[in-house]
Chain A
């Protein structure tokens, strides 16, 4: 799951980057960049961190 989260995080960046080529409207780019940020945050906080917490030292 850590790898999945890492890929999601990177994909968020790629999505934001793609906004530069896919649309020239400010609104369209903003939506895509915000979606990219959300995807990266989910990848870091929702997936990767959760995977680490499953084996956290305080659970042992």
Chain B
């Protein structure tokens, strides 16, 4: 019996060895790959004959074919190099087109801001508020063209989606704890200096400029109804030329925050896809600094410090403006891919849906909060909740899933109500449109949300770090630290810089109009004309 058992074991062992050493089955012949295409093959490509084309092409089936490819050498005819160059240029052209159209959408947000802010102010200040929102575009653009763009993007390096923006390659760096980190860019002055007279740089400039202008227009809301027009111009110039571009460089231009991951092992560095921090927090925090310096409107607080509600004059303008802003946000967030063709760029579909969902959830959050707390679904706060959801999703929009987008939006909608009450009742800072809460508070929340909700499905190689971006809830606590570092920079550095600049403006020019002008309304004293000349307006302190 033992012999049989030993024989069986030996047989099995031999069999197993044999299986292990059995020669691999002869490989199945791989199917022949596609034959290499040669220039000669291209000569045989069928194109619609001219006789057909001259009859017209009502269904579009004849238009756009091989005959539309530009040939480098007409004697040689169509060559592979012509086709490949056309493919490459098409990719860049698609990305240029998308980024420019997105920039145009963001530019239109200025109209949304203008009517939201004007609607939330009193009719006696309509001309002044509209004029600030109108001129903030030009003043900001001028400042950014002269100085700001160079500081922010002058060292960003080549952006592959735009065919490379190689001339933007001069970042001023210092050594921080043994690591080389960027502080500000140095190429791009007048869009000429350093070889920046370049089509890719032009696309980058336009897109970044309209973002910067969004920041500057946030401040006009919080300082409305009492801001001296001359002070507004100087303050806006300083914001567009220095404050915004500096933080913009640190986050988007290759500066030290963007490289926290590669240099210090903090996730993928500070990640802010479309600017909850760069655009909205910088605007909201500067709005807080200006509001503190300028003080509240006459009649906003009683002698014992209780806030009075000073209602806006046109809720129709306010909610229409919110819709315009939401429309523009489809340029703001999905456009921040800087292209729609190329690896990862199709994520812009998710970005667009996340943006839409967060805005909806923010509107719901604020509406139900106000309904439960005060018995009515307040229209202006619902609008602010809608915007708060959009602000909060702006940084994480590319990195989170749709459920997280809804959660972020809902929290933002409630947070904006709590923040408005806090700013009004506890801080006693007068913010006529709620800009500090919508953009400042929720901008900071959006930055933190990246470090919490990023689900690891997007952002491979972001910040020079391999792998996708993950937040704390998906296993990477270090990403949250990088985001908190951004928050600390916004509160500690950006606020300080904004405060000092605006304090200087206050000392030199004076930020606030006189009491008589404020009571009368700023339209006549500051602008020389009423916003609504055919209406009889009653001055109300």
Contacts and interface: CB of A to CB of B under 8 A. Distances in A.
B257 to A, nearest CB: 11
A13 B491 contact: yes
B214 to A, nearest CB: 23
B448 to A, nearest CB: 10
A4 interface: no
Interface in B247-271: 260, 264-266
B429 A12 contact: no
Given A26-B481, A49-B427, A52-B292, A20 B488 contact: no
Contacts of B295: 52, 56-57
B303 interface: yes
B328 to A, nearest CB: 30
B292 A57 contact: no
B300 interface: yes
A57 B296 contact: yes
Given A49-B429, A52-B292, A52-B295, A9 B495 contact: yes
B492 A33 contact: no
B478 A26 contact: yes
B4 interface: no
B298 interface: yes
A16 B178 CA distance: 17
A18 B504 CA distance: 29
- Classify the secondary structure of B's interface with A: helix
Interface string A20-33: 11001011011001
Contacts of A57: 295-296, 298
A37 B177 contact: no
Interface in B283-328: 288, 292-293, 295-296, 298, 300-303, 305
A58 B303 contact: yes
A13 to B, nearest CB: 3
Contacts of B231: none
Contact of B302 (A11, A14, A49, A58): A58
A26 B265 CA distance: 9
Contacts of B513: none
Interface string B483-509: 011011101110110011000000000
Interface string B452-493: 000000000000000000000000011011001101110111
A9 B496 CA distance: 7
Nearest to B305: A58
A60 to B, nearest CB: 9
Given A6-B499, A16-B488, A24 B265 contact: yes
B20 interface: no
A23 B295 CA distance: 41
Given A26-B481, A29-B266, A58-B303, A10 B493 contact: yes
Contacts of B36: none
A40 B488 contact: yes
A20 B496 contact: no
Contact of B288 (A29, A44, A53): A44
B488 A30 contact: no
A49 B292 contact: yes
A31 to B, nearest CB: 10
B1 interface: no
Given A49-B292, A52-B292, A26 B492 contact: no
B91 interface: no
A20 B303 CA distance: 47
A59 B477 CA distance: 47
A53 B304 CA distance: 12
Tell which of B176, B305, B487 has the most Cβ of chain A within 10 Å: B487
Nearest to B487: A37
A13 B176 CA distance: 15
B347 interface: no
Contacts of B478: 26
A13 B265 contact: no
B428 interface: yes
A53 B266 contact: no
Given A10-B492, A26-B478, A56-B301, A37 B296 contact: no
B430 to A, nearest CB: 9
A40 B302 contact: no
Contacts of A12: 488, 491-492
Interface string B424-439: 0001110000000000
A24 B477 CA distance: 13
B301 A58 contact: yes
A45 interface: yes
Sorted from nearest, which 3 A-B pairs have the closest CB atoms?
A13-B492, A16-B488, A21-B177
29 contacts: A6-B496, A9-B499, A12-B491, A12-B492, A13-B492, A13-B493, A17-B488, A20-B264, A21-B176, A21-B177, A24-B265, A26-B478, A29-B266, A30-B477, A30-B480, A33-B481, A33-B484, A37-B492, A40-B488, A40-B492, A40-B495, A44-B288, A45-B427, A48-B499, A49-B292, A53-B428, A57-B298, A58-B301, A59-B305
